[in-house]
Structure 1
Amino acid sequence: MTPRIWAVLPAAGRGTRFGGEVPKQYLEAAGKTLIAHALDALLSHPRVDGAMVALAADDLRWPGWTSRHGKPLLRCTGGGERADSVLAALRALPGDVDEDALVLVHDAARPNLRAADLNRLIDVASAHADGAILGAPVRDTLKRADADARIVATEPRSALWRAFTPQAFRRGALTSALERARAEGVLVTDEAMAMERTGAHPALVEGREDNLKVTTPADLALAEYLLARLTE
């Protein structure tokens, strides 16, 4: 039997850095909301069985989807921080998604995920006990600054990567890692950080650099341009 693979999308945030009244996952680009693009990229993949979305308790914008691409799309109530929402979603997954099942955690405002990247990630994470994440090596020169925004030093970049999503881990291991971080009062900024704190060494899978997360209005404009090119 082929192991089950589910996606988790933390979508309880308000997108305060973006500004405006509409949470950024509900902003539109190329005719669909960002979260719809993200879900379609995941659920259209033949190896992904379903998705769980963690929403704010007072979210009135959720369209009420229960399936996409013929696959189950479930919802749960998220928390105040990304890690809280991911943990809530992991706990809410169906009972037949066992502890060893691979879970793909993906940003709801990262709409431009390509199937080839997702396929490589699943292959590597399935073969790697500590899971894997999509990312890209840092290519720009890095400068360390002081409090007055003056350059202090040039930092070596040879071993540095930018972390993308999805990030893929076993359900049980990621749940335990997030629970441990919460108990120790550590705010993790992504799932790999939680896993690293347990001694795990997730694999890095190089993905396309246009798999961008929408954080600013300029990001939204670029995402719309990229998505429009996909449909040409």
Structure 2
Amino acid sequence: MTSALIVAAGSSRRMGFQKLTASLLGKPVLRWTLEAFDNCPAIDHLVVVVSDATRELVRAWAADGMLRKPVTLSEGGAERHISVYGGLKKLPPSTELVAVHDGARPLITSDQIIRCINRAREIKAVACARPVTETLKRVDENGVITGSVDRKDTWIMETPQIFDRNLLCQAYERVMQQNLTVTDEVSAVQLLGHHVFVLENPESNLKITYPTDLLLAEQLLQARL
């Protein structure tokens, strides 16, 4: 059994308004994200980590049958790693693989979810990612460029990040016990010394962070429809 853990409890500080409820081609951003996993045949259950801004929306979608798969809600925490830890506690007992995904990544495709899941079945720890193609520079506190960063072997982490359930739970237990802060599941699992493998995503999978990202996401979605 594979469960998706969708993190939808962020405050959207950089956005200036709640990005998960913002309209994207007539539907909230979060609705696009949830539908991608709800429509994916490799996903059996949805655990959605919610905030005050998203809780009632998700409840209504589940109650109205807009989401066909079982949905469990989990309350978000002050930081992302706390939200994920709480979501892991709500997984169905039969869950073997967990696909953790940012609610603000509405462009993820069912095909990529399936590719990541199939790979995780083999190696237990997979992160959806893409190689860095831009020139990277180091900049000091005054905004002065101080040097270059070699982009060889450099990847941008995306989600979903998919793991063996026991491995990920063990990793987050260590995070919480040692009062650590991690920004993604890769970092948590690496604390155990376990290898995490990347799987390149051939499709656009941007994270909605700024208002202009909504415009770009609309263009990308329209090109797919």
Q: Is the 8 A contact 1:43 1:69 kept in 2?
A: yes
> Identity over the aligned pairs, expressed in percent?
35
Q: Deviations over 1:166-220 (max 9, x none)?
A: 0001122111211211222221000111001110111100003510000000111
Distance 1:63 1:168, change over 3 A: closer
Q: Is the 8 A contact 1:124 1:203 kept in 2?
A: no
Q: Is the 8 A contact 1:26 1:61 kept in 2?
A: no
SS at match of 1:40: helix
**For structure 1, which runs of at least 5 residues remain unmatched after alignment?**
none
Q: Deviations over 1:125-151 (max 9, x none)?
A: 11003x101000111111111121111
The equivalent of 1:139 in structure 2 is 133
| Larger mean Cα displacement after TM superposition, 142-151 or 215-224 | 142-151
The equivalent of 1:82 in structure 2 is 80
The equivalent of 2:186 in structure 1 is 192
Instruction: Spell out structure 1 runs of 4+ moving beyond 4 A.
Output: 57-61
Q: Is the 8 A contact 2:168 2:185 kept in 1?
A: yes
Distance (Å, rounded) in 2 between the aligned partners of 1:27 and 1:179: 34
TM-score (norm 1): 0.90
Equivalent residue letter for 1:163: M
Equivalent residue letter for 1:83: H
Aligned positions of 1:1-232 closer than 5 A? 4-20=1-17, 23-56=18-51, 61-64=56-59, 65-66=61-62, 68-97=66-95, 101-129=96-124, 131-208=125-202, 210-231=204-225
Equivalent residue letter for 2:178: E
Distance (Å, rounded) in 2 between the aligned partners of 1:76 and 1:218: 30
TM superposition shift of 1:227: 1.4
TM superposition shift of 1:96: 2.7
Equivalent residue letter for 1:37: W
Coordinate RMSD, CA, aligned: 1.6
Q: Is the 8 A contact 1:57 1:78 kept in 2?
A: no
Q: Is the 8 A contact 2:20 2:28 kept in 1?
A: yes
Q: Is the 8 A contact 2:21 2:54 kept in 1?
A: no
Length, aligned pairs only: 222
| Larger mean Cα displacement after TM superposition, 156-165 or 87-96 | 87-96
Q: Is the 8 A contact 2:19 2:104 kept in 1?
A: yes
Distance (Å, rounded) in 2 between the aligned partners of 1:215 and 1:102: 28
TM-score (norm 2): 0.93
